[in-house]
């Protein structure tokens, strides 16, 4: 059985003319400030521009990232295969540790005292095995918990 299609045309509804909006106040031009020097945006360019290359940055980071069980040369060899963005992220962590706490040992002591476990030698020994970014995360978490 064939069905009959019925099409209906919609009537156009006349729109009312829109009322004029009051003119927005003109924005006052801000004083021009000196633009900050813009560096390269790509991680490879940032590494080569600021640090002289991936190998040089890996050597500088290796001393700070090496734990008691690892030699800084093996850490440097591992870091040479890391991506440029990862090296930049690790460099930011190392700078944070140096500015806020001074060294890895002082960071571990700060975490222990913030969590009120500064006398627990086993806990502090376990913290010494953690990587530097993990320790920074624990320190930030302990600071937040102390404020709350």
pTM, rounded to two decimals: 0.66
| CB contact set of 18 (below 8 Å; sequence gap of 6+) | none
| Per-residue pLDDT tens over the stretch 117-141 | 989 999 999 999 999 999 999 999 9
| Per-residue pLDDT tens over the stretch 56-97 | 888 988 988 888 788 888 999 999 898 888 998 999 999 999
Residue 41 pLDDT class (50, 70, 90 cuts)? confident
Residue 43 has pLDDT above 90, yes or no: no
Helix, strand, coil in percent for the chain, rounding step 5: 55, 0, 45
Q: Domain map of the chain by residue range?
A: 42-91, 101-148
| Sign of the alpha-carbon dihedral angle for 68, 72, 74, 78 | positive
């Amino acid at each position: 059985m064939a069905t009959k299609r019925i099409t209906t045309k919609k009537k156009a509804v006349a729109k009312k003319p829109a009322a004029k909006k009051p003119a927005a106040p003109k924005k006052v031009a801000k004083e021009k400030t000196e633009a900050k020097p813009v560096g390269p945006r790509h991680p490879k360019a940032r590494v080569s521009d600021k640090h002289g290359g991936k190998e040089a940055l890996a050597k500088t980071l290796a001393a700070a990232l090496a734990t008691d069980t690892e030699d800084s040369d093996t850490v440097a060899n591992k870091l040479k295969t890391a991506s440029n963005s990862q090296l930049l992220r690790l460099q930011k962590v190392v700078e944070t540790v140096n500015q806020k706490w001074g060294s890895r040992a002082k960071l571990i002591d700060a975490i222990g005292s913030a969590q009120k476990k500064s006398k627990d030698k086993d806990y502090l020994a376990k913290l010494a095995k953690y990587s530097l970014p993990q320790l920074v995360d624990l320190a930030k978490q302990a600071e937040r918990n102390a404020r709350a």
